[in-house]
Amino acid sequence: NAGVTQTPKFQVLKTGQSMTLQCAQDMNHEYMSWYRQDPGMGLRLIHYSVGAGITDQGEVPNGYNVSRSTTEDFPLRLLSAAPSQTSVYFCASKQGVFYGYTFGSGTRLTVV
């Protein structure tokens, strides 16, 4: 039972590079979200999805894109990496609007 799987676990990017963080869940959850976690800031919502084909912006969406072509996958794309995007990124999924999230193990991203 894999739950929520994120890849890669670690990544170093140069300023201006682009990349995609992968997220997949095998629990048939409709709701998926991406959060970033920075020291002293807590978890902040980047983008979320309530089902395949439906995505929406969260609290800090600038510089990131998402798509949801299947129920299982919810990749996060960094368009042009900036040092301010250095953070730990968590993908999460849940069964319904009033349920709690199950988190992936995170991706530690450093932009130099």
Partner 1 sequence: RKEVEQDPGPFNVPEGATVAFNCTYSNSASQSFFWYRQDCRKEPKLLMSVYSSGNEDGRFTAQLNRASQYISLLIRDSKLSDSATYLCVVNILTILAGAGSYQLTFGKGTKLSVIP
100 binds partner 1 (CB under 8 A): yes
The single residue among 8, 59, 62, 80 that binds partner 1, judged by CB under 8 A, is 59
The one among 5, 11, 58, 86 contacting partner 1 by CB under 8 A: 58
Question: Tokens 């739950």 appear where?
Answer: 3
Of the pair 15, 26, the CB lying nearest partner 1 is at 26
Binding partner 1 (rule: CB under 8 A), the pick from 7, 11, 30, 45 is 45
- Asked if residue 26 binds partner 1 (CB under 8 A), the reply is no
40 touches partner 1 by CB under 8 A: yes
Per residue, what are the HEC states of the chain?
CCCEEEECCEEEECCCCCEEEEEEECCCCCEEEEEEEECCCEEEEEEEEEECCEEEECCCCCCEEECCCCCCECCEEECCCCHHHCEEEEEEEECCCCCCCEECCCEEEEEC
Contact residues for partner 1, defined by CB under 8 A? 33, 35, 40-43, 45, 48, 56-59, 90, 94, 97-106
